[in-house]
Amino acid sequence: DIQMTQSPSSLSASVGDRVTITCRASQSISSYLNWYQQKPGKAPKLLIYAASSLQSGVPSRFSGSGSGTDFTLTISSLQPEDFATYYCQQSYSTPPTFGPGTKVDIK
Amino acid sequence: QVQLVESGGGVVQPGRSLRLSCAASGFTFSSYGMHWVRQAPGKGLEWVAVIWYDGSNKYYADSVKGRFTISRDNSKNTLYLQMNSLRAEDTAVYYCAREGVWFGELFSYYYMDVWGKGTTVTVSS
């Protein structure tokens, strides 16, 4: 199985900050990388698919980049509604695997 | 609107069984693969199982293989997860999710684009 890691595991940031979250795969997964946002008590929400494609309806302050083993989710200007946990997930092979998550909270 | 609604969760003793359902609406259910994903209390997301759009292929996480069975009834727009021999470590919120696909220039990319709100399964004596 492909192992996914994320860094940092948590971060504190202020509204307006630029936030970057990193995801790394244990082997090359090309661009088969998705990002999800989850708020407490809620289902995950797809943000980015295929490493850099923005899901319909997701604000453009979210962006994704990377290929191979290293990927990045960037929030260009953090908004109050962005405080949440973010997960990466590889869809290169079965089983699909998720990273452990990065919790973004208010500084 | 596109919607998935899970049901069937509850409190069950170790070793017993439970069947979860996921009712789909607002899209052509029979055209999509479907996943079950779970989240233990305070933990991250764990993929459980997937079934192809026509039910022809099914895959499971090692942690549930041989105990859980994913199935679907396309005439009822419903996905199921039969869970047998339940263990304490199966305690989680169970989500169903639709498998979306994007056809790139050379490859197809898969993701989970629609999620239900989840149903809670607690395995405890």
User: What pLDDT, on the 0 to 100 scale, is given for residue B36?
Assistant: 98
Rounded to whole angstroms, the Cα distance separating B110 from B92 reads: 24
User: What pLDDT, on the 0 to 100 scale, is given for residue B39?
Assistant: 98
Closest by Cα among B38, B27, B28, B24 to B86: B38
User: For testing the chain B interface, which of A2, A5, A46 should be mutated: the one with the most B CBs within 10 Å?
Assistant: A46
Chain A interface includes B45 (CB < 8 A)? yes
Chain A interface includes B82 (CB < 8 A)? no
* Mean pLDDT taken over chain B: 97
Give B64's contacts in chain A (Cβ within 8 Å).
Answer: none
Percent of chain B with pLDDT over 90: 95
Residue A64, both tokens: 């994704």
Q: Indicate yes or no: CB of A91 within 8 angstroms of CB of B116.
A: no
User: What pLDDT, on the 0 to 100 scale, is given for residue A37?
Assistant: 98
Rounded to whole angstroms, the Cα distance separating A6 from B41 reads: 20
Band of residue B105 on the pLDDT scale cut at 50, 70, 90: confident
Band of residue A5 on the pLDDT scale cut at 50, 70, 90: very high
pLDDT tens for residues B16-38? 999 999 999 999 999 999 999 99
Rounded to whole angstroms, the Cα distance separating B109 from B43 reads: 27
pLDDT tens for residues B65-96? 999 999 999 999 999 999 999 999 999 999 99
